[in-house]
Amino acid sequence: MRKNLKLALIALAVLAVAGVAAGYYLYNLKPRDLGKAKSDFVITSVELQRSFEEDEVAATARYTNKIVEVTGEVASVERGENNTVNISLKTGSDFSSVICTFPSEINPELIKVGSQISVRGECSGYLMDVLLNNCVLSEGSD
């Protein structure tokens, strides 16, 4: 009986150490450097939003967690939480846009409403708006 208890405690200790190590790794995991990453898809903001609107399940399977390069007209530029910069791209819909979230390193005054830009980011899905995170400006932006 004591031998089984000892083995159970050892197994529990190993699982606890593995859990702490995995948590530490995930906590310190840095986002991908999208400035150097290759885009999985190159698409306009209108086409991207329309694909989610027409078939959300298929578009989610296709674009979510992928690097997407989107070109579109800037609708708005705002500061978000944690000093991030959120740029909305027009989609032709009054109810939906493509929201690109940049880290705080970007200067929002460099982006003008009405200008055409190309943005590369990781698509995180669709919640009335298509969401791109960890964005960088692609070459060829105004």
Q: Are residues 125 and 61 in the same domain?
A: yes
Q: Provide the pLDDT confidence category of residue 141 given band limits of 50, 70 and 90.
A: low
Please tell me whether residues 26 and 50 are part of one structural domain.
no
In a domain, 35, yes or no: no
CATH of the domain at 46: 2.40.50.140
Q: What is the pLDDT of residues 98-136, one digit of tens each?
A: 999 988 777 777 888 999 999 999 999 898 899 999 888
Total number of domains in the chain: 2
Selected residue with higher pLDDT from 66 and 33: 66
Of these ranges, 21-30, 41-50, 94-103, the one predicted with the greatest mean pLDDT is 41-50
Same domain assignment for residues 94 and 120: yes
pTM equals 0.73
In a domain, 74, yes or no: yes
Domain holding 3, by residue range, is 1-30
For residue range 71-99, list pLDDT tens digits in order: 999 999 988 778 888 999 999 888 889 99
Please tell me whether residues 115 and 49 are part of one structural domain: yes
SS3 string, the chain, reads CHHHHHHHHHHHHHHHHHHHHHHHHHHCCCCCCCCCCCCCEEEEHHHHHHHHHHCHHHHHHHHCCCEEEEEEEEEEEEECHHHCEEEEECCCCCCCCEEEEECCCCCHHHCCCCCEEEEEEEEEEEECEEEEEEEEECCCCC
Q: Are residues 61 and 105 in the same domain?
A: yes
Residues 23 and 48 in one domain: no
